[in-house]
Amino acid sequence: MTKIEKAAYIIEALEELYPTVEVPLDHKDPYTLLIAVLLSAQCTDKRVNTITPILFKRADNPFDMIKLDVAEIKEIIRPCGLSPMKSKGIYGLSQMLVEQYNGVVPADFEALESFPAVGHKTASVVMAQAFNIPAFPVDTHIHRLLTRWGITNGKSVVQTENDAKKIFPREKWNKLHVQIIYYGREYSPSRSPLLEKDFITRKIGTKKVKSTFKDWHSFE
């Protein structure tokens, strides 16, 4: 099966499984999405969704966020991990938004990636899901599955993103990356793969499916 044939099969299979998808992080606007995605680094979406209501009750916009100090933010988000870095990032990017963008999150990759604690993946999620600008954020599920499916060689997340963008139609990127995440969580988790359910890997995988998957670390 060629890569083009694999891509077509992946799109068809995931569209049947997940015809409608939403970002699994609770948010109401670009700012709250940006904060939620930042918090999700090396943290589960479920945990983030328990913390953001507490944080957003105090401050759900950059103007209110900078009224808090870093220590207050850190204490609230501590359960998400990496709280020293994340709290400084949240305060710093909120300050930049107020001072440089009148509190409005810019729909621009370069601008987003200039914010503290915001990497390419976080910027890509915001661009795709808040502004509907085509992007292909790569998380652990996408990196793992696109490698196993033979879409990329798995050498780096940068390579995975580039290969995905080459093989999948641009108009599919924003929805497809979320569909792959859903599939990875439901059918092919890294620690406890449900091999009897992982039909896409059995159909198009480049390697024989083993009893365990490599436990890829989190990527920013």
DSSP characters for 150-216? TSS--S-HHHHHHHHHHHS-GGGHHHHHHHHHHHHHHH--SSS--TTT-HHHHHH-SS---SS---P
CB 117 within 8 A of CB 90: yes
Q: How many CB atoms lie within 10 A of CB 68?
A: 19
Which residue in 121, 163, 175, 198 is the catalytic one?
121
Residue with tokens 């799109």: 11
Which amino acid appears at position 194 of this protein? L
Specify whether 26 is catalytic. Answer: no
Distance of CA 160 to the CA centre of its chain: 14
Specify whether 215 is catalytic. Answer: no
Which residue in 139, 163, 172, 175 is the catalytic one?
139
Cα 173 to Cα 90: distance, rounded to the nearest angstrom: 27
CB 206 within 8 A of CB 149: yes
Cα 104 to Cα 101: distance, rounded to the nearest angstrom: 5
Active-site residue list: 121, 139
